[in-house]
Amino acid sequence: MLTQTGELPIFSAPARTSPPAGHGAARLLALSVLAATTLGVWSLGGAAQPDVDLRVLNPVPTMVASLGRRASHNGRYQAEVIAHDSLEVGRQQGWTLHVTQRNHRGLAHADVNVKSWAPETGEVSSKVATSRYVGGGNYRLDGIYFPHAGWWNVALVIAGANGADSVAFNVVIPPR
């Protein structure tokens, strides 16, 4: 089951010089309007324009990740990533997931299946992630892998005491 969610908080990332793939035209239009209105360089009659260094207007790309507490799609469980390795391209990583039931008690010994995929392309990560229960409603997810920059969805199917349900976390990694 592949799922996706819409919440995406922003995290800082290292600076780079090229815009993210697929956002060039929209970003250029937004930056042009921002520059024109902020710097007062809007011109209707061909008047001389001040020199503007457009590199200053290109914001630093940011990593975006939605890893906080969220209800499963049918409301049976809630899940939250409470710890994770650095979110990077080309490196297997591990996450610690906390899963609770409707009564807010930790869910013990559930089967948690993990699949990472790119919603924009439909590509599924080539690495198979695993999960194991580590106690207190916590599960260790190992082998999460993002082979390239872009929008990645980590979809989980949780089969526990209240049946099976799904939850998803999003990560957007900017190109370097």
pLDDT tens-place string over residues 52-74: 555 555 566 788 999 999 999 99
Kindly indicate the confidence band of residue 41, based on its pLDDT and cuts at 50, 70 and 90.
very low
% of the chain at pLDDT higher than 70: 66
pLDDT tops 90 at residue 49: no
Bridge partners for 101 per DSSP: 77
pLDDT tops 60 at residue 11: no
pTM of whole model > 0.85? no
* Model pLDDT for residues 91-137, shown as the tens digit of each residue: 999 999 999 999 999 999 999 999 999 999 999 999 999 999 999 99
The pLDDT assigned to 51 comes to 55
What structural domains and CATH numbers belong to the chain? Answer: 24-57 (no CATH), 62-173 (2.60.40.1930)
The pLDDT assigned to 8 comes to 47
